[in-house]
Amino acid sequence: MTGTRTSTGRQWRGLLAEYGDRLPISGATPHVTLREGGTPLIHSESLSMVTGCDVWLKFEGTNPTGSFKDRGMTVAISKAVEDGAEAVICASTGNTSASAAAYAAKAGLTCAVLIPKGKIALGKLAQALVHGAVVIQVDGNFDLALDMCRTLDEKYPVRLVNSINPDRIAGQKTAAFEVCDFLGRAPDVHVMPVGNAGNITAYWAGYREYHADGLIDSLPVMRGFQAAGAAPIVRGAVVTAPSTIATAIRIGNPASWSSATAAAEESDGSIRAVTDRQILQAYGRVAREGVFCEMASAASVAGLLALSEAGELPAGASVVCVLTGHGLKETDWAIMGAAPPPVIPPDVDIAAELMGLSR
């Protein structure tokens, strides 16, 4: 595998090399890596100003396939290869399928993905297709597709790489390590979107691991946010017809429900809902700071602003907001939300006028 080749360069080496001692791998595990992780923690002056906190954006959109899923996939696919698996499957609202397809391609494994028909962002569908996955659209929602995958996993010789696979959670906890390694401590408050609830489970596991090992001396308050139309954990009941513009978190029966609730309770935090309108506003707001995240990711910033308005953020707290995926995956909202750019003849004076320039 290419990941085991050495280099004298100063590049980030990927999670298996950087955090291997904290992952469920051994010397015998092949490294299937696209050099994921090492994502930027971007300071937000504007969000710090409005909240009176020190706000950092953990931008997971810079991962190789444009979302945090790569952190779990490098571990899950490497272990699948080690164990002799020939095919992997997953259900997905888009990002898991994009990541599984890419890492399976890297490893030379067959990959099949089950996606809810017509409900995943075009960029994510393009990724699964271009990496050569068998893409199957299910006439139903994500939760039904995940049920199908569980049954396929029982009946057929395939490896399930959804986040119910513990290797996924193990890989994803590295994001908490990176946050702490960069800040030199844990943040006071950690804000993130919640869909199938694997990622909040993973972050909480990562923070607790560093705390248990004495690398940080406090733990953050975990604040998870679901989309109001797909908020089973907030309602305390399965949502049979989840609905939100944030298709990545359009999930009505999260697989990691109980561990997400545990993360919120143990950290004195919460899992709440934000409306599509709040998500859309937050999406535009971070974009105007130069960070292009996808709609589901903006649920964290929407949540941050809601917490701030409710007076629930301690003044001066350090806050990490996770932006889970890249906005280039779904450009329709960016384009629909803007005025169509004017078309002009090739005339510099007309262009200058439109730019508001005067001689």
| Residue ranges that bind ligand AN7, judged by CB under 6 A | 67, 92-96, 163, 193-199, 248-249, 294, 296-297, 324-325
Q: Is 315 exposed, middle or buried (0-12, 13-18, 19+ CB in 10 A)?
A: exposed
The full DSSP string for 175-192 is: HHHHHHHHHSS--SEEEE
The smaller minimum CB distance to ligand AN7, of residues 94 and 242, is found at 94
The smaller minimum CB distance to ligand AN7, of residues 303 and 325, is found at 325
CB of 309 to ligand AN7, least distance (A): 22
Measure the CA–CA gap between 299 and 280, rounded to whole angstroms. Answer: 8
Strand partners, 254: none
The smaller minimum CB distance to ligand AN7, of residues 29 and 257, is found at 257
The smaller minimum CB distance to ligand AN7, of residues 36 and 294, is found at 294
CB of 123 to ligand AN7, least distance (A): 11
CB of 331 to ligand AN7, least distance (A): 15
Sort residue 338 into left (φ over 0), alpha (ψ -120 to 50) or beta.
beta
Do β-strands 189-193 and 318-323 pair in parallel, antiparallel, or remain unpaired? parallel
CA atoms within 13 A on the CB side of 138: 20
CB of 4 to ligand AN7, least distance (A): 28
Measure the CA–CA gap between 234 and 153, rounded to whole angstroms. Answer: 30
CB of 121 to ligand AN7, least distance (A): 9
CB of 297 to ligand AN7, least distance (A): 5
Tell me if residue 58 falls in helix, strand or coil. strand
The smaller minimum CB distance to ligand AN7, of residues 163 and 174, is found at 163
CB of 53 to ligand AN7, least distance (A): 22
* Token output for 260: 């997400």
Tell me if residue 163 falls in helix, strand or coil. coil
Which H or E element spans position 235?
Answer: helix 232-235
The smaller minimum CB distance to ligand AN7, of residues 29 and 39, is found at 39
The smaller minimum CB distance to ligand AN7, of residues 44 and 247, is found at 247
Cβ-proximal residues to 27 (8 Å cutoff; 6+ apart), any chain? none
CA atoms within 13 A on the CB side of 299: 31
